[in-house]
Amino acid sequence: MNCCDLINKTKRKQALTENEIKWLVNEYTYDNIPDYQISAWLMAVCLNSLTDEETLALTLAMRDSGDILDLSGVNGITVDKHSTGGVGDKTSLIIGPVAAACGVYVPKMSGRGLGHTGGTIDKLESINGYRTEISFNEFIDIVNKTGFSIVSQSGKLCPADKKLYALRNASGTVDSIPLICASIMSKKLAVSADCILLDVKYGSGAFMKTIENAQKLADIMTRIGNMAGKKCAAMVTDINIPLGRNIGNALEVIEAVDVLNGKSKGKLYDLCIDLSAKMLELAGKGDIDICRKMAVDAISCGKAAEIFEKTIALHGGNAKIVSDTSLLPQPKYSHKVYANKTGTIQEMNSEEIGMTSLIIGAGRKSKTDSIDMSAGIIIDKECGEYVKEGDLLLTLYSSSVTDFSDAENRALNSIKII
C-alpha cells in the first residue's frame, strides 16, 4: 500500500477500506509513515469527513494499537462514562459512587488537566495519600469491593491515539468530528466496559461550540459504540458557564462531597442525577424514572457518600475528608472580586474562568507544570442573577500567588453584567 494513494483517495472523497485504514494507523504507530504524510491525510479528513464505516475502522485500529483491558474479573455489569470536558466538571467523582450504590460497577480511567479544563486525576490527587496509579489487579479488587474506582489512564492504552492527537494539535486538525470520535471512542473501547455513557459538552471552552455540532458528535460516538458491540448512549449538555460553584482541584472535591452528602442541590446535583440515571438505564436497571429515583435515594440515604469514603480509603487516601472537607489542602491567600456595575449577569465565560483559575495555580499551561491543589475559585453568583455594584461575585484562592490583579481583571472580563 502507498500512503500517497490513500491521501489522494480521501482528498477525492473516495472511502478507504478497513484494511487501508488499519494499514495507515499501524504504519504510523510504528514510525513507518512520516508525520507530514499523516498530517496531509488528517487535513483531508477535516475537509471531507469520513463515512461511519471508515470512522469505525479508524476507531478499532486505534483501540487495537495497545492494551485492551480485561474486565471479566469484575463481578457484574460495568458502566463507563466520558465527558468531553468542561470547567468545573467534577461529575465523575459523584456519579461513580451513585451508580455503584445502585448496583452497577464503575471501573474508570481518567486523565489530567491541561489548559483551562481540570482533570479528574488531579482532583483525586488533592486528597492526601490517594494513589491514582495502582496495579490492574488492585483496580479490579477495589471495583469488586466498593463498585467504583478511578485510576490514571494506563500509558499502554491506544498509543496510536497519543501519537495522532499530538500531531493533530500541531497540524490544526483537532476539530474534526470523525477524528474526535475515533480518538475518544478508541480509548473508551479499550477500557471495554459493557456500557458507555457520553456527556458531550457544548459552549465556551468546549470542543464543540454549538449544540448542533455537539449533537452530531454525540450521534456518531453512539453509533460507533453500538457498532463496536457496546451499549452506548450520549447526553448533550451546556458548559457555556462553569459547572457548579467551585473550580480548582481540592475545591471541586469539596463540592463533590457536598453533593454526595446531600448538602448541595442545584444544577450540578441535577446533572449528576440525570447522568447516573442514564448509566443505570443503560445497565438495564429499569426505565429512566425508576433509575432517577434510585440515584436520588443513593444520595439521600448516604450510601453513595459511604462508597466514596471506602474507595478513597482503599486507594490509600485520607477518607475522613468525606466527613470533614477542611482536611483537604487549604489555600494560604484569598481575594474577593466584587461587581463593578449594577445589572443582570448575562454571561460567565467558562473558558475565561478556567484560564483565571489556571493563572492562580489551579491548572497547567504545559503537561509538566505542577499544580497548586488548594488554588481555585468559588463563584458566589449565578448567571441570570441581578447584582448591585459592590456585591461579591467570586473569591479567588491560592497558596502560590499573592498578587491577584491579573486574575481579578480576567475574572471581571469573563462576567458580562448588563
Any idea which residues carry the catalytic annotation? 82, 161, 168, 183, 187
CA–CA dist 263, 305 (Å, integer) = 11
CA–CA dist 249, 126 (Å, integer) = 6
By 3-state DSSP, what share of the chain in percent is helix, strand and coil, each rounded to 5? 50, 15, 35
Q: How many residues does the chain have?
A: 418
Give yes or no for residue 183 binding ligand URA (CB under 6 A).
Answer: yes
For ligand URA, the closer CB: 168 or 335: 168
Give yes or no for residue 87 binding ligand URA (CB under 6 A).
Answer: no
Q: Which 8-state DSSP code applies to residue 235?
A: E
Long-range CB contacts for residues 405-411, cutoff 8 Å, separation at least 24? 406/359, 407/335, 407/356, 407/359, 407/360, 408/335, 408/337, 410/352, 410/355, 410/356, 410/359, 411/337, 411/352, 411/353, 411/356, 411/377
Residue from 98, 180, 247, 251 that binds ligand URA (CB under 6 A)? 180
Give yes or no for residue 130 binding ligand URA (CB under 6 A).
Answer: no
Strands, sheet with 246-247, edge to edge from the N-terminal-most edge strand: 246-247, 376-379, 392-398, 333-338
For ligand URA, the closer CB: 161 or 252: 161
Q: Which grid cell sits at 59? A: 476507531
Q: Which stretch binds ligand URA (CB under 6 A): 34-42, 177-185, 229-237, 402-410?
A: 177-185
Give yes or no for residue 271 binding ligand URA (CB under 6 A).
Answer: no
Residue from 23, 139, 148, 207 that binds ligand URA (CB under 6 A)? 207
Do 395 and 335 meet the contact criterion of CB atoms below 8 Å apart? yes
Give yes or no for residue 65 binding ligand URA (CB under 6 A).
Answer: no
For ligand URA, the closer CB: 234 or 417: 234
- Closest contact distance (angstroms) between CB of 207 and ligand URA is 6
- Closest contact distance (angstroms) between CB of 83 and ligand URA is 10
Residue 166 — φ and ψ, nearest 5°? -65, -40
CA–CA dist 66, 156 (Å, integer) = 6
- Closest contact distance (angstroms) between CB of 61 and ligand URA is 15
CA dihedral 411, 413, 415, 418 (to 10 degrees): 150
Give yes or no for residue 295 binding ligand URA (CB under 6 A).
Answer: no
- Closest contact distance (angstroms) between CB of 201 and ligand URA is 10
Residue from 58, 184, 200, 260 that binds ligand URA (CB under 6 A)? 184
For ligand URA, the closer CB: 146 or 183: 183
Residue 354 — φ and ψ, nearest 5°? -60, -40
Tell me the number of residues near ligand URA by CB under 6 A.
5
Give yes or no for residue 350 binding ligand URA (CB under 6 A).
Answer: no
- Closest contact distance (angstroms) between CB of 189 and ligand URA is 13
Give yes or no for residue 214 binding ligand URA (CB under 6 A).
Answer: no
For ligand URA, the closer CB: 200 or 417: 200
Residue 79 — φ and ψ, nearest 5°? -130, 130
For ligand URA, the closer CB: 143 or 198: 198
- Closest contact distance (angstroms) between CB of 45 and ligand URA is 12
Give the count of alpha carbons within 13 A of 201, CB side only: 23
Q: Which stretch binds ligand URA (CB under 6 A): 60-68, 179-187, 305-313, 343-351?
A: 179-187
Q: Which residues bind ligand URA (CB under 6 A)?
A: 165, 180, 183-184, 207
